[in-house]
Amino acid sequence: MQQNSIVLIGAGSTVFTPGLMTDLASSPAFSGWTVHLVDLDADAAETMARVGRRIAEERKADLRFEPHTDRREALPGATFVTTTIAVGAARGWLLDIEVPAKYGIAQTVGDSVGPGGVLRALRHVPELVAIARDVEELAPGAWMINYSNPLTANVRAITSATSVRAVGLCHGTMHTLASLAGDLDVPPAEVHAVFAGLNHLCWLLDLRHGADDLYPRLRELVAERSGGIDAPATSREGVHLAISADLMRTFGKYPAPGDRHVSEFFSWYLRGADGEHLPWGLQGGRDDTMRYIAEKSDLWDRLHAQADGTLPLDSTDNQEAERLVSIAEAIVTGRDHVELAVNLPNNGNIANLPPTAVVEVPAVVGAAGITGLSVGRLPDAIAAVLTARAQQQEITVRAALTGDRDLAVQALALDPLVPDPATAAAILDDAAAAHGGALQRFASSTIAA
């Protein structure tokens, strides 16, 4: 049986994987460990392993990198299993945006909520649960840490269908906090913040610098600098964001992580938009999404050159990977610390959300594992929004696990961006045809025949 190993499934993640390998090579806690890089694409796994070996050599780290196409070969005895899979890859993500767009539905990201988020969950949940069942069999003591979106639905599926200890990680709240601290002219490391909610709609409950409450100043800056429906296109976070400001005025708390994500939870910001010139400054966020999808091939060209030694390695600053490494260090060394945001089953951490919902809350990490911290009750209106979303995601998970077309149509129809059940059914049929085998089981009987 393998010992002291980390298994990364979906190792072809072009940004996350190099950052993870760099951070692991920089940590003495993982000296002598093996990192197993698993991807269905043998070239992707081998290329990442070669890049990892260069990183370890340059940093003089005692760390091995092994490529695999079969996860069962890599899993036995693993300490941590990380999933960054993307079923359908970049083209699948693009289809999740383009198919609903045929019905006049504009999305800024389409990977967590909106019809794109539902379609992505229908593809990802079965595969992630299959991975978790292999973990359950081959590495029952491992922590499974998922980065694949939609994070909430994926973690809910894993924890409801298996006994695996699983959480989800996302860097979004960290980016929001860093931006707000900069606007407030306070060093981010000195700011105490509490966020709670669901992934990609997480609310800032408390913000302090020492004994000073920063929320009054935050409200002042938002009032001074934020735009409205005619705000210029932007993808930069901060107090100028129009939708985050509008949500704070409406619900009393500031949301994270930025307008391109939080807007998709509310129909009034996107419904009726044409996708070409989005209001509320959202066009910049949508453009970022399309640019990120398009640049995947260029990133692979660079990684191949780095693996060959013809290009220097990047000096990465990957906050996503950094959080995973910090969590793994705390569990391995037993040195407790508090994480800003971890996605895990609620179990009362947010008192007025369903106990089975997967929530994003602070967590203590150490020798005892990962333990969510209670934040009490959220404001009633915020809890109402999140409860409705958690219940929709519960239906999405059930549809994905059972292959039930009726449930899938319900999950789509319940999304605020989808105008009616007929549109939901049409989106599902078009997506089944576009995605092929990954969604074929949800096609209507006439189309499937």
Burial status of residue 301 (CB atoms within 10 A of its CB: 0-12, 13-18, 19 or more):
exposed
12 in the same domain as 129: yes
CA 174, CA 178: separation in Å to the nearest integer?
A: 6
107 in the same domain as 211: no
Residue 347: which residues within 8 A CB-CB, separation 6 or more?
355, 372
Cβ–Cβ under 8 Å, residues 339 and 362: yes
165 in the same domain as 101: yes
165 in the same domain as 18: yes
Percent of the chain predicted with pLDDT > 90: 84
Quickly state the pLDDT bin for 418 (edges 50, 70, 90). very high
Q: What angle do CA 238, 289, 10 make, to 5 degrees?
A: 110
pLDDT at 3 over 70: no
| Three-class SS state of 430 | helix
**Mean per-residue pLDDT over the chain, rounded:** 93
Following CA atoms 387, 388, 389, 394 in sequence, which dihedral angle do they give, to the nearest 10 degrees?
90
pLDDT at 312: 83
Q: Is residue 142 part of a domain?
A: yes
215 in the same domain as 135: no
Q: Is residue 278 part of a domain?
A: yes
pLDDT at 280: 94
Quickly state the pLDDT bin for 444 (edges 50, 70, 90). confident
pLDDT at 1: 44
Q: 10, 15, 38: which is closest to 296 by C-alpha?
A: 15
Quickly state the pLDDT bin for 16 (edges 50, 70, 90). confident
Quickly state the pLDDT bin for 70 (edges 50, 70, 90). very high
Last residue of a domain, one of 255, 273, 294: 294
Print the SS3 string covering 153-208. HHHHHHHHHCCCEEEECCCHHHHHHHHHHHHHCCCHHHEEEEEEEECCEEEEEEEE
Cβ–Cβ under 8 Å, residues 190 and 209: yes
Q: Is residue 437 part of a domain?
A: no
**Mean pLDDT of all residues in 79-93:** 94
Within 10 A of 206 (CB to CB), how many other CB atoms are there? Answer: 14
CA 328, CA 311: separation in Å to the nearest integer?
A: 30
Query: Over the stretch 256-290, which tens digit does the pLDDT of each residue have?
Result: 999 999 999 999 999 877 667 899 999 999 999 99
pLDDT at 179 over 70: yes
pLDDT at 382 over 80: yes
**Six-digit token pair at 246?**
């509008």
Q: Which domain holds residue 265?
A: 205-294
Q: Is residue 122 part of a domain?
A: yes
Q: Is residue 42 part of a domain?
A: yes
153 in the same domain as 50: yes
Last residue of a domain, one of 294, 320, 349: 294
pLDDT at 93: 95
Quickly state the pLDDT bin for 449 (edges 50, 70, 90). very low
Placement of tokens 């002291």 in the chain = 4
pLDDT at 335 over 80: yes
209 in the same domain as 163: no
Cβ–Cβ under 8 Å, residues 110 and 200: no
Amino acid letter at 272?
Answer: G
Provide the CATH number for the domain around residue 68. 3.40.50.720
CA 241, CA 245: separation in Å to the nearest integer?
A: 6
**C-alpha of 58 from chain center:** 30
pLDDT at 234: 87
pLDDT at 447 over 60: no
Q: Is residue 303 part of a domain?
A: no
CA 277, CA 107: separation in Å to the nearest integer?
A: 12
**Pick the residue with more confidence: 437 or 412?**
412
Q: Is residue 288 part of a domain?
A: yes
Within 10 A of 7 (CB to CB), how many other CB atoms are there? Answer: 31
Last residue of a domain, one of 275, 294, 313: 294
pLDDT at 195 over 80: yes
Quickly state the pLDDT bin for 426 (edges 50, 70, 90). very high
Q: List C-alpha distances in Å: 180 to 64, 107, 175, 443.
A: 39, 25, 9, 45
- Overall number of domains in the chain: 2
Burial status of residue 298 (CB atoms within 10 A of its CB: 0-12, 13-18, 19 or more):
exposed
45 in the same domain as 121: yes
CA 82, CA 324: separation in Å to the nearest integer?
A: 9
Quickly state the pLDDT bin for 318 (edges 50, 70, 90). low
214 in the same domain as 139: no
DSSP state for residue 376 in the 8-state scheme = B
131 in the same domain as 10: yes
* DSSP sequence for 26-83: T-GGGTTEEEEEE-SSHHHHHHHHHHHHHHHHHTT--EEEEEES-HHHH-TT-SEEEE
30 in the same domain as 148: yes
pLDDT at 146 over 70: yes
**Six-digit token pair at 108?**
């800024």
Of 88-97, 132-141, 317-326, 433-442, the one with minimum mean pLDDT is 317-326
Q: Is residue 147 part of a domain?
A: yes
285 in the same domain as 151: no
